[in-house]
Chains A and B, each alone.
Chain A
Amino acid sequence: MIKVENVKKRFGEEEILKGITTTFDKGKTNLIIGQSGSGKSVLLKCLIGLFKPEEGRIYYEENAIQDMDEEQQRILREEIGMLFQGGALFDSMTIEENVMFPLRMFTKMKKSEMLDRVNEVLNRVNLDNVNKKYPSEISGGMQKRVSIARAIVNKPKYLFCDEPNSGLDPKTATVIDNLIQEITHENDITTIVVTHDMNSVMEIGEKIVFLKNGVLVWQGTQEEIFKTDNKDVTDFVYSSDLFKKIRDIQNKEQ
């Protein structure tokens, strides 16, 4: 579980996060949604420690990041897996080396054990025969899956995903979404996904946090988001023609 208490983040004079308070549940896919510029990615970067908030506290279980020294933060980060928007694979390494990287850095496993684990996670994300290829030699969807494999290879307790579907076709995006949810449930990890894709909300959103202009304006479950009267949320959800039509059909049926 990750708890956020009154987190504020400023860049110069501009306040990007204006006191966010929420909880991200263990064993669930938690979604942070909102329009571009709403502060989703900044909140994510505060959670993983790439940005330091000016105010507020972030708790991993009972321990606040703000109270941890550098070594404790480093140990915490070993328990974090991160899927970046662009994959962030090391382009000078092969797929196998990319996925093996966290094991080489943080474990004392033998090479054969590491290779077994790499093959296990690559198999889990449905990738075969790519071990010796370089990131530039595989498709965007495959890169995302390799990135997921790298994020989970060291059995993290927390998984963060920044716009996992950006640049992917709808079918591949659904595959990635489902993969993230399955891995979350299989390993009972706390997963936080930043997205503005309503399909992801439909597919995997178990707990949803909605941000607007740096303010948390709504939070709830997948069922609740389609029933809420909050105008900001409904404007966002029904900005898509598809969802508008679904709503109209549902209204007619009732």
Chain B
Amino acid sequence: MKYLEDIGSYFLMIKRVFSSPTKTSVLRELIFKEINDLIISSLGIVAFISFFVGGVIALQTALNLTNPLIPKTLIGFATRQSIVLEFAPTFISIIMAGKVGSFITSSIGSMRVTEQIDALEVMGINSLNYLVFPKIVALMIYPFLIAIAMFLGVFGGWLAGVYGGFTSSTEFVQGLQQDFIPFHLTYAFIKTFVFAFILATVPSWHGYYMKGGALEVGSASTKSFVWTSVLIILSNYIVTQLLLS
């Protein structure tokens, strides 16, 4: 019953987020601030993880290629498929659920605890539009972050494969181009948009409707990470089923 109430309250929140908009000039500033807080500040960790995971995928594939009949181009092919289809869109989103999701929940939760959200409401401001809408807009450029993750992942794989002496650059690039289906990129970016919406709204819901004090802010952040991850994994399955099967 509690879960049904929560689901209902989540959709009611979404409805309110898109009603009674905040003054445009203020909103513009908020969106730029959120782009900085949510996207730009995540560039470093996303780049670092993507680069090394790309390298590890290439290494793992190369080290398991014991049959001489399997061409070396498989290293590039496997790296591309793993990075583009799953690692960049899905697993970077799980990492972002920890980094950005916790940030969103704790910042909104702290505002709830210290009556800053009440202050907005008393002033006649739609606090949900003011707090959540800029995050949704900012995270709509999240696919650019994922594009960077894809590029760096593949680049990391190329460096590890070529400079580790497992394949030549030509073979790796041939593997990257082998059986390339452009729709896979479309699929990856479609699901990235879905994850971006989840990343913006689920942690916001946990922060906005939290009750209690400072300790509960921490607990809300943890719950927010768990539920955001669960929803990303579930929606990943549904989107994959819908678009690829």
Contacts and interface: CB of A to CB of B under 8 A. Distances in A.
Interface stretch (B116-124, B140-148, B179-187): B116-124
Contacts of A194: none
B115 A86 contact: yes
A80 interface: yes
Contact of A82 (B20, B110, B111, B122): B122
Given A70-B20, A74-B20, A105-B26, A88 B123 contact: no
B115 A105 contact: no
Give the most central of B26, B121, B124: most A CB within 10 Å: B124
B13 interface: no
A174 interface: no
B2 interface: no
B118 A84 contact: yes
A105 B119 contact: no
A188 to B, nearest CB: 21
Contacts of A249: none
Interface in A21-68: 48-50
B81 interface: no
B23 A105 contact: yes
Interface in B111-158: 111, 114-116, 118-119, 121-125
A90 B26 contact: no
A70 B110 CA distance: 27
Contact of A77 (B23, B26, B114, B124): B124
A131 B111 CA distance: 22
Interface string A71-102: 00111111010101110111100000000011
Interface residues of A, number: 25
A104 interface: yes
A103 to B, nearest CB: 11
Given A74-B124, A104-B26, A86 B114 contact: yes
Given A82-B119, A104-B23, A88 B124 contact: no
Interface in B1-32: 20, 22-23, 25-26
A90 B121 CA distance: 13
Interface centre among A82, A85, A88 (most CB of B within 10 A): A88
Of B110, B114, B116, B123, most buried by chain A (CB within 10 Å of CB) is B123
A129 to B, nearest CB: 24
A85 to B, nearest CB: 7
A78 B122 contact: no
Nearest to B119: A88
Nearest to A154: B123
Nearest to B115: A88
A89 B122 CA distance: 13
A65 to B, nearest CB: 13
Given A70-B20, A104-B26, A77 B122 contact: yes
B212 to A, nearest CB: 15
Contacts of B25: 104
Nearest to A70: B20
B20 A84 contact: no
Contacts of B111: 90
28 contacts: A48-B122, A49-B122, A50-B118, A50-B121, A50-B122, A70-B20, A73-B124, A75-B124, A76-B124, A77-B121, A77-B124, A78-B123, A82-B119, A84-B115, A84-B118, A86-B114, A88-B114, A88-B116, A88-B118, A88-B119, A90-B111, A90-B116, A104-B23, A104-B25, A104-B26, A105-B22, A105-B123, A106-B123
Given A85-B115, A105-B22, 9 more contacts: A49-B122, A74-B124, A76-B124, A78-B124, A82-B122, A86-B114, A86-B115, A88-B114, A89-B116
